[in-house]
Amino acid sequence: MTHRIGMGLVLATVVGLGWSFGQAETKSAAKPQRLPESALMQAKVASSHKVMEGLVAKDFHEIRTGAEELKKICRATEWQAHSDPVYGHHRAELIRQANKLVDSADQSNLDAAAFAYINVLATCIHCHEHCRDVLKIAEIRRPTKVIPIPTNDADDMPPGPATQRR
């Protein structure tokens, strides 16, 4: 029963990743310039894909290799530039889950490896939500203006030649 659930989750992950890779290819054509971090992100996706292939093929060596690569990427110095504590938490969690993947592969435990992989994906999603929705908003620095709030119906009307404001 547990094996069936694990394989069902792996299958759902495979389908989801296949769809997201297809979507990413169409979106990436529109982005001519890439950030330096994108090379690390692409390496992380490739390592994650290795883990997924290992899970589908029940290849514990491939699972371990992909997990070890994930750990190396997470420890890369370029990633330590962010001082945000929530980002640091997600990074540490990804390393913990990669360690669980290595341990599961060493024990030839496919169900535990599948569960750890799902947690890796969840950690990635949560981290990207934080970086996209919280950190990017905090970085936006536009000149701000005070916009008057209308207090009556006359204030809703834009000033024109027939309207005089005091």
pLDDT tens digit string along 54-89?
999 999 999 999 999 999 988 876 656 567 888 888
Where do we find the tokens 């435990």? 109
Where do we find the tokens 């990207």? 128
For residue 154, what pLDDT band results from cuts at 50, 70 and 90? low
In a domain, 113, yes or no: yes
Q: What is the mean pLDDT of residues 127-142?
A: 73
In a domain, 103, yes or no: yes
Sequence letter at residue 137? I
Which of 27-36, 122-131, 139-148, 152-161 shows the highest mean pLDDT? 122-131
Sequence letter at residue 150? P
* Dist CA 113 CA 80 (whole Å): 27
In a domain, 53, yes or no: yes
pLDDT of residue 32: 42
% helix, strand, coil for the chain, step of 5: 75, 0, 25
Structural domain total, the chain:
1
In a domain, 134, yes or no: yes
In a domain, 67, yes or no: yes
pLDDT of residue 84: 80
HEC profile of 100-139 = HHHHHHHCCCHHHHHHHHHHHHHHHHHHHHHHHHHHHHHH
CB-based contact 104:135 (threshold 8 Å): no
In a domain, 122, yes or no: yes
pLDDT of residue 62: 98
Domain region containing 90: 38-139
Q: pLDDT tens digit string along 28-56? A: 445 444 445 678 888 899 999 999 999 99
Cβ within 8 Å of residue 9, ≥6 positions away? 114, 115, 118
- The model's pTM is 0.60
Share the mean pLDDT of the chain.
76
CATH number at residue 65: 1.20.120.10
In a domain, 1, yes or no: no
